[in-house]
């Protein structure tokens, strides 16, 4: 008998070793995703993460050149049949409707939605023009509404549930100096997501939120007007700002697009099947969260 036991153990160990060598099944295989702002830092990192798990991805963005560059890069890595693009302004009702039409034609439907297209543009309240206020409202608040409304129509028609992730911002929860237009629009995205979690649950549609803190590297937001505005608010250059954000985090680490992508992946994957209306802050432990 001890011999038999030794044999069993050896056999079991061999089977384990074989299992470990077998390629792991891809967790999003057969799924179709749309990522708005897919040509940007967080959007392209999220698309890459979904692709790495076997999903097909439609990149939607207002910037056709950046869209093509991102498509080329991702298609080179994951295969050209896995990635499509659609040029779309999230503030245009017609453009959003036709993007979902294209998605249905190209990939036969949708399972995963990442609403992420955005800008960062703000000012002190006395310098906030109607144009600036409305730009934040239309791209962030209204843009997320349109992307979600059309997704809901398609997801309900398909009848097999789905997962939607809103990339909002820590600024949708925590106030930031000189950024009321942006903060307010981001807060509305978060509340919209929670309302939609209620509405979507009976149809198996989950809606969750990922709130990044400042992501300076890889993001196109941190160039031009927003960078100048933040730099003058804090009297720091880009490196100084990144250091300030790093220092105010408990973990003393900068947040990267890939970190945000990982949280977006969590909400898309089966492991989060019991999560809806929830928020993950990707902020390396921003101390503001502990003093609110
Ligand atoms: P990014 O500028 O690199 O990417 C944003 C993308 O959205 C760009 O490719 C841009 O062309 C696209 N876009 C802008 N307006 C659009 C419109 N009207 N229609 C369609 N596409 C449009 O910036 P990012 O850092 O990747 O930001 C992604 C999201 O994350 C945004 O919603 C942003 O507010 C949010 N966020 C960013 C940070 C950060 O520090 N980078 C922090 C918190 C939240």
Pair 128, 122: CB distance under 8 Å? yes
**Is the C-beta atom of 102 inside 6 A of ligand 1?**
no
Spacing, Cα 118 to ligand 1 middle (Å): 4
Closest-lying ligand 1 atom to the alpha carbon of residue 138 = 18
Place of tokens 């498509």: 71
Spacing, Cα 150 to ligand 1 middle (Å): 20
Q: 210 forms bridges with which residues in the sheet? A: 167, 280
pLDDT per residue as tens, the chain (292 positions)? 678 888 888 888 888 888 888 877 899 999 999 999 999 999 999 999 999 999 999 999 999 999 999 999 999 999 999 999 999 999 999 999 999 999 999 999 999 999 999 999 889 999 999 999 999 999 999 999 999 999 999 999 999 999 999 999 999 999 888 999 999 999 999 999 999 999 999 999 999 999 999 999 999 999 888 898 888 889 999 999 999 999 999 999 999 999 999 999 999 999 999 999 999 999 999 887 776 5
117-139 burial, b at 16+ Cβ within 10 Å, e below that, comes to: bbbbbbbeeeebeeeebebbbbb
Radius of gyration of the chain (CA): 21
CA distance 21 to 245: 41
Tokens encoding 78: 């994951």
**Is the C-beta atom of 169 inside 6 A of ligand 1?**
yes
* Residue to mutate (ligand 1; options 188, 219, 241; most atoms within 8 A of CB): 219
* Residue to mutate (ligand 1; options 37, 67, 86, 90; most atoms within 8 A of CB): 37
* Residue to mutate (ligand 1; options 43, 94, 118, 280; most atoms within 8 A of CB): 118
Kindly provide the residue ranges of all beta strands, DSSP E only, lying in the chain, ordered along the sequence: 32-36, 56-61, 83-87, 112-115, 162-167, 205-212, 279-282
Spacing, Cα 260 to ligand 1 middle (Å): 12
Question: pTM, whole model, 2 decimals?
Answer: 0.93
CA distance 168 to 116: 7
Active site residue 144: no
């Amino acid at each position: 008998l001890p011999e038999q036991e030794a044999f069993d153990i050896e056999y079991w160990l061999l089977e384990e070793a074989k299992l470990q060598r077998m390629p792991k099944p891809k967790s999003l295989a057969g799924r179709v995703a749309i990522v708005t702002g897919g040509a940007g830092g967080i959007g392209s990192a999220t698309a890459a993460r979904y692709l790495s798990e076997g999903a097909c991805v439609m990149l939607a963005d207002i910037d056709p050149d950046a869209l093509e560059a991102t498509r080329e890069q991702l298609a080179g890595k994951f295969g050209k049949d896995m990635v499509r693009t659609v040029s779309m302004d999230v503030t245009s009702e017609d453009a959003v409707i036709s993007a979902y039409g294209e998605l249905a034609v190209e990939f036969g439907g949708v399972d995963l939605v990442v609403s992420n297209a955005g800008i960062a543009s703000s000012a002190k309240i006395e310098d906030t023009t109607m144009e600036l206020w409305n730009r934040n409202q239309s791209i962030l608040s209204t843009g997320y509404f349109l992307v979600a409304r059309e997704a809901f129509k398609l997801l309900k028609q398909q009848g097999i549930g789905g997962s939607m992730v809103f990339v909002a911002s820590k600024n949708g929860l925590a106030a930031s100096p000189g950024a009321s237009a942006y903060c307010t629009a981001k807060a509305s995205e978060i509340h919209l997501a929670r309302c939609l979690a209620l509405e979507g649950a009976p149809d198996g549609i989950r809606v969750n939120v990922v709130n990044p803190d400042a992501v300076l590297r890889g993001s196109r937001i941190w160039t031009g007007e927003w960078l100048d505005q933040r730099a003058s608010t804090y009297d720091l250059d880009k490196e100084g700002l990144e250091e300030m954000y790093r220092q105010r985090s408990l973990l003393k680490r900068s947040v990267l697009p890939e970190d945000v992508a990982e949280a977006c992946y969590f909400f898309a994957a089966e492991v989060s099947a019991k999560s809806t209306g929830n928020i993950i802050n990707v902020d390396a432990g921003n101390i503001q969260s502990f003093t609110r």
